[in-house]
Amino acid sequence: MGRLDGKVVVLSAAGQGIGRASAVAMAKEGAKVYATDINGELLKTLNGVQGIETHVLDVTKTDDVKAFLSKIDRIDVLFNCAGFVFNGTILDTEEKDWDFSFDLNVKSMWRTCKEVIPKMKKQGGGSIINMSSVASSKKGAPNRCVYGATKAAVIGLTKAMAADFVTDQIRCNCVCPGTVDTPSLQDRINALPDPTQARKDFESRQRIGRFCTAEEVANLVVFLASDEHVSAATSAGDILSTQHGR
Ligand code: NAD
């Protein structure tokens, strides 16, 4: 028996990294997974994985998001994973960088949640998982100014939604990973003058001595997608505080 048997999941950014690992992990636990990404080529790597159906979807396109979600009757779990890292301080940013980063990292969650929450209310509950980061209101990270601002907004948005919909049995949580070894992390490393040294420097910043893996974050996503933390929340209120909007 899987931990997500019978659940229907929709997630974004499933083409690679944390999103892909989460799609695979949730399907393995018995969920029917609608795995979406803007990049159809990346989604092809999920072809043939049992329980996964792939769809090209750009979460910055309101009409496309609406049209896609309107075709799925029941949605038990929504994982808003898509996000973009803008590298730089406030002095490096232009207005377009703020607009793009907030559009993709935050406003995309409004697009999906606005369509999915009415379905969850009607069906008696659900779980929404938003992707934040430790670079947010949790911690200031160098050269992550606009990114950190968007991820702090995700925490605020998640807590507000949790407060609004907890009585509808809709759980809202976000995950705040540190540095996770994903293709986009490697792209950011490759863009630096000495990628080999840069990777070592990145790694040495991790007190555990290594990067987190996408699969490790996916384990947390599976837990939040499952009903296991409904009862756990009463005793682990701090970890799961966003569920109650505290
Ligand atoms: P990634 O950056 O390697 O991949 C992102 C995926 O998002 C790609 O498949 C890409 O095609 C897709 N995507 C980009 N724009 C899109 C759009 N408009 N609509 C739909 N899909 C789109 O993945 P990652 O590093 O695993 O990051 C995933 C999420 O986790 C992001 O929100 C990121 O900010 C967050 N995060 C990552 C780390 C890390 O160290 N990697 C740490 C904390 C949080």
Which residue bears the tokens 């934040």?
Answer: 132
Task: Say how many Å lie between the CA of residue 61 and the centre of ligand 1.
Answer: 17
Cα dist from 177 to 33, 52, 148, 183, 216, whole Å: 22, 24, 12, 15, 10
Q: What is the pTM of this model?
A: 0.94
Looking at this protein, which amino acid is placed at residue 218?
A: A
Residue 147 is among the residues annotated as catalytic for this protein: yes
- On the question of pLDDT at 242 being above 90, the answer is no
Q: What is the pLDDT, as a whole number, of residue 239?
A: 40
- CA-closest residue to ligand 1 atom 37: 180
Q: How high is the mean pLDDT of the chain?
A: 93
pLDDT in tens, 99-131: 999 999 999 999 999 999 999 999 999 999 999
Of the residues 68, 147, 165, 211, which is catalytic? 147
Contacts of 115 (CB under 8 A, 6+ apart): 65, 66, 69, 70
pLDDT in tens, 139-186: 999 999 999 999 999 999 999 999 999 999 999 999 999 999 999 999
Cα dist from 169 to 75, 116, 118, 131, 200, whole Å: 14, 14, 12, 20, 44
Q: What is the pLDDT, as a whole number, of residue 202?
A: 86
- On the question of pLDDT at 245 being above 50, the answer is no
- CA-closest residue to ligand 1 atom 6: 13
Closest C-alpha to 81, from 118, 33, 120, 123:
33
CA quadruple 113, 118, 121, 123: dihedral sign: negative
- On the question of pLDDT at 227 being above 90, the answer is yes
pLDDT in tens, 8-60: 999 999 999 999 999 999 999 999 999 999 999 999 999 999 999 999 999 99
Mutate which of 184, 187, 216, 217 for ligand 1 pocket (most atoms within 8 A of beta carbon): 184
Rounded distance between C-alpha atoms, residue 130 and residue 88, angstroms: 24
Q: What is the pLDDT, as a whole number, of residue 29?
A: 98
Q: What is the pLDDT, as a whole number, of residue 235?
A: 40
- On the question of pLDDT at 222 being above 60, the answer is yes
Please state the atom number of ligand 1 nearest to the C-alpha of residue 58.
Answer: 19
Task: Say how many Å lie between the CA of residue 83 and the centre of ligand 1.
Answer: 5
- CA-closest residue to ligand 1 atom 19: 58
pLDDT in tens, 123-143: 999 999 999 999 999 999 999
Which residue bears the tokens 């991790």?
Answer: 206
Please state the atom number of ligand 1 nearest to the C-alpha of residue 214.
Answer: 26
Cβ of 87 less than 6 Å from ligand 1: no
Closest C-alpha to 39, from 13, 5, 8, 10:
13
Task: Say how many Å lie between the CA of residue 134 and the centre of ligand 1.
Answer: 15
Cβ of 177 less than 6 Å from ligand 1: yes
